[in-house]
Structure formats: C-alpha cells, structure tokens
Amino acid sequence: MVGFQKLMLVALAALAVTIITGPMFIPMLRRLKFGQTVRDDGPQSHLAKNGTPTMGGIIMVAGIMVASLLSGELDTNMVMALVSIVGFGLIGFIDDYIKVVLKRSLGLRAYQKLIGQFALALVMVFYQYSVADTGSSIFVPFMDGYRLDLGIFYIPFTVLVIVATVNSVNLTDGLDGLASGVTLVISVFFTAVASLLGYTSVAIVCAAVFGACLGFLRFNAYPAKVFMGDTGSMALGGAVAAAAVLMNISLIIPIAGGIYFAESLSVIIQVVGYKLTGKRVFRMSPIHHHFELVGWHETKVVSVFWIASLVLGILAFLAFI
C-alpha cells in the first residue's frame, strides 16, 4: 500500500503545476482568441460565456504528467495510464483546434473521433489482457471479491467500456466546474482503491488527477475563467478509464461514475424517445441542462452533482472492504 504522505505530495505537486501555469497559459489562450462558442439553443444564461478561453485541459494534463513522473514510481502501468490520458487528450485537442482555430464548428467527424478512441482503447486492452496478472478476470462489485473471467470477450467488452467512459466524461463537461469537480471526487475513490489493492503507480496517477482537478477548479469554478475543452474532458475520461481497466474493476464505473453514466443515459433516452415519439423526454440533454431549464441555477446543479458523486464514491468503496 502506497503511503498517504507520498500520495499527498503527488497531489500537491499536480496542484502546484496547475496553479502556477494557469495564470500564464490562460492569457495566452485569450490573446490567441481560443474562445468557446456557446450553443444558441442552450440555456440563455450561457450566452455570456461566449469567448471564454477553452483548451485549458492542457493545464491539467501538464500537472498530471509532471507530478506522476516526479514520483519515482514509473512502471508499465503508469506508462499505460499516462498514454491513455495524453492520447485521449490529444484527440480532444485536435477536435478543439479544428473548432476553435480553424473555425470548423463540427470539429472532428464522429467516425474520426471513434477511430482514434478505439485504437487507443485496443492498445490498453491488449496490454492488460496479455500482461496483467488478473488477465481477463474482472471484479464484480458486492460479490465478496468474486472475479468474472470473460475470456476472449474481455477484449471487446473493455474496449467499449473505455470508449463509453471517455465520451461520458466529455458529455459531463457542460457547466462551470462540473466535469472537473465530479472527476476530482472520483479520483479520490480510485486513489483509495488502488492503494488498498496495491496498485502503487495507479494510485500515484489518480492522486495527480485529484491535484490537477483541484488546481483547475481555481480557474474553472463558476464563473469560469477558462474551459477545459475536449482536450481536458477526454484526458480526464482517459484517466478514469485507465484506472478502472488497469485494476480490472471496470464494472465499478457505473457506480463510482454514476454522474457520467446518468449524463450519457439522458442523451440516449432523449434521442431514442424523440425518434420514437417525436417528443423530448428532457427539456434538454445532457441532463445537467435539463435541471438548468427547470429553474436550477448552474451552481446548484454542479453542487448537487458533486455531492451525488461523493455518495456514489463511498458506496462504490464499500464494495472493496
């Protein structure tokens, strides 16, 4: 079990890098006019956010990378986790760059994103399937340590888990401090579980994610001075997916990451419901916008989702003790 003191030092290092680089990087984004374009069909209160610098996820990725590498715990698990974070973050960066700099509103086409995401997911899954001690056996929550061996089906199942998780975190990034705050809470859960199960390098990376999210909230909490963009949301999705897969506890994501799950599910329900009935189930999806349109202030939605993540994280942790 990795020491609490070391985890705190890693988190503080990521926090420091994020806090220090933010004031240098955000004005540069503003000078380069890397501003967010807000949807006209969204909540009217969001129109004031037009022009807010985006692609700030680079700040978090820098904090995570520096803190993790300085920890002295570099091994293949840490390499794979960082590859997942940087790789998915790079896909998001390219998407942001096309939308913000090249002024092509759609960014990468859906199939282009999916090709990149599936390729990265396959790299991680084949590593885990062939190298990890647990192989194709995944932990089943609340079953007294029982592991289900999926055999060859582990590969397609886990690839889908990774891609779904990354895109779910991306959908969650729609309000000031929402994705960064929810992921901060979830990273504490993964840090605790990784430490408990003896995955030292995974615990280190998760502690770095916690510190980077905490530092980023200094600039991203309402009213946000910078948005993380797809660069940040996909990088955080890559971090969550990597932590779960490297410990073969991917079935815990719908519990610990229940907010991510709810955001994705609301979009699916909205699309399917509209196609079948011609009517919208929610005022707007993802579901955080629905709560805004029924009268909740943005900060209330974010606070409630943070608290829900905390409760879900505690519930998920009970599956391991």
Domain regions of the chain by residue span:
4-251
Token pair belonging to 158 = 């886990």
- Is 170 labelled as part of a ligand binding site? yes
Q: Name the pairing type of β-strands 137-139 and 147-149.
A: antiparallel
User: 147 exposed, middle or buried (CB, 10 Å; 0-12, 13-18, 19+)?
Assistant: middle
**CA angle, corner 211, sides to 305 and 209, nearest 5?**
75
- Is 173 labelled as part of a ligand binding site? no
| Eight-state DSSP code of residue 283 | S
Q: Which amino acid is at 182?
A: V
Q: How many CB atoms lie within 10 A of CB 151?
A: 11
The one-digit pLDDT tens for each residue of the chain (321 residues) are 678 999 999 999 999 999 999 999 999 998 888 877 665 556 766 766 777 999 999 999 999 999 999 999 999 999 999 999 999 999 999 999 998 888 777 789 999 999 999 999 999 999 999 887 777 899 999 888 788 999 999 999 999 999 999 999 999 999 999 999 999 999 999 999 999 999 999 999 999 999 999 999 999 999 999 999 999 999 999 999 999 999 999 999 999 999 999 999 999 999 999 999 999 999 999 999 999 999 999 999 999 999 999 999 999 999 998
Asked if 98 contacts 45 with a C-beta cutoff of 8 angstroms, the reply is: no
- Dist CA 88 CA 108 (whole Å): 13
- Dist CA 65 CA 63 (whole Å): 6
